[in-house]
């Protein structure tokens, strides 16, 4: 990005839960630094968006200051939001974070703000657009390879769908770092599948259908691109889209 061009500002959603640092054990908003590094290394400015009381007006005021939005990984989405009873393995819902991210995402979609969803972020996008989730993939595919547990990421071979934004960013295939026991089941409206696992067909990326919405840049991957900062292609994609959005807004 040229030095004479202002860097775009991208908001990243955060956790809000009990955390320890030094002698302190408190409820805190935080995000692993690798998410921030993904945005900044790709040329963007990162702004953290902690869960807080929200309505559409508050979400709109926050989005006014952003050129792009990243919905990050974390706790399972509350299954009540897509009309399902909880599976025994599903996390206790974080209602404050669900409400916050749902409001931000609805507002971002309405104004065609570029969006990158990561892991939970892909699930949030699908649910906001009326889709559903598989709550526990081992019940569906018969193995735990997508989430080995104990904070150990596994490598999945993923094939992209030709002609999608994801394929344009990462090519025909990618070996990606995965840590998810849930995944997209019924696809949300206006979404298309843009990548799947080559072994069991689990949906690994979705995006807004650009044939129907050519001005929208909304991509969500089930894997964790922040775990491989030697490959910034997805972060570079959303930063570039955010730069275009910023310039369009200035020139409007």
| pLDDT score of 148 | 78
The pLDDT tens digits for 92-140 are 999 999 999 999 999 999 999 999 999 999 999 999 999 999 998 999 8
Residue 226 falls in the annotated catalytic set: yes
Q: Is the pLDDT of residue 232 over 70?
A: yes
In percent, the amount of the chain with pLDDT more than 70 equals: 97
Residue 178 falls in the annotated catalytic set: no
Catalytic residue among 101, 204, 226, 240: 226
14: nearest Cα among 47, 39, 50, 46: 50
| Element spanning 103, H or E | helix 95-110
pLDDT band at 1 (very low <50, low <70, confident <90, very high): low
The pLDDT tens digits for 43-97 are 999 999 999 999 999 999 999 999 999 999 999 999 999 999 999 999 999 999 9
In angstroms, the Cα distances linking 84 to 120, 161, 189, 193 are 17, 29, 18, 22
Catalytic residue among 119, 181, 204, 240: 119
Tell me how crowded residue 71 is: count the other CB atoms within 10 A of its CB: 27
**C-alpha to C-alpha distance for 249 and 53, rounded to whole angstroms:** 28
The pLDDT tens digits for 103-113 are 999 999 999 99
Residue 143 falls in the annotated catalytic set: no
Q: Is the pLDDT of residue 5 over 90?
A: no
Look at the block and give the residue holding tokens 């968006």: 49
Catalytic residue among 180, 181, 224, 240: 224
The pLDDT tens digits for 158-175 are 999 999 999 999 999 999
Q: Is the pLDDT of residue 3 over 70?
A: no
What mean pLDDT value characterizes the chain? 94
Q: Is the pLDDT of residue 4 over 80?
A: no
| pLDDT score of 47 | 98
Q: Under CATH, which number does the domain 9-132+185-191+203-251 receive?
A: 3.40.50.880
The pLDDT tens digits for 178-198 are 989 999 999 999 999 999 999
| pLDDT score of 99 | 98
């Amino acid at each position: 990005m040229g030095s004479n061009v202002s860097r775009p500002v991208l908001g990243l959603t955060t956790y809000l839960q009990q955390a320890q640092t030094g002698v302190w054990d408190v409820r805190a908003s935080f995000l692993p630094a690798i998410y921030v590094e993904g945005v900044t290394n790709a040329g963007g400015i990162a702004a953290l968006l902690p869960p807080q009381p929200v309505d559409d007006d508050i979400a709109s005021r926050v989005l006014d200051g952003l050129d792009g939005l990243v919905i990050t990984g974390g706790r399972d989405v509350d299954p009540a939001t897509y009309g399902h009873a909880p599976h025994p393995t599903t996390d206790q819902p974080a209602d404050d974070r669900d409400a916050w991210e749902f409001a931000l995402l609805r507002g971002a979609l309405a104004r065609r703000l570029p969006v990158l969803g990561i892991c939970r972020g892909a699930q949030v996008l699908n649910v906001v657009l009326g889709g559903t989730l598989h709550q526990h993939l081992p019940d569906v595919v018969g193995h735990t390879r997508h989430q080995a547990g104990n904070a150990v990421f596994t490598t999945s071979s993923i094939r992209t769908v030709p002609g999608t934004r994801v394929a344009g960013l990462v090519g025909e295939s990618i070996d990606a770092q995965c840590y998810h026991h849930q995944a997209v089941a019924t696809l949300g409206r206006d979404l298309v599948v843009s990548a799947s696992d080559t072994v069991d067909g689990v949906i690994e990326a979705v995006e807004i259908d650009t044939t129907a919405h050519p001005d929208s840049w909304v991509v969500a991957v089930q894997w964790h691109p922040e775990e491989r900062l030697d490959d910034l292609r997805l972060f570079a994609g959303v930063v570039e889209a955010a730069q275009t959005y910023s310039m369009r807004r200035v020139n409007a």
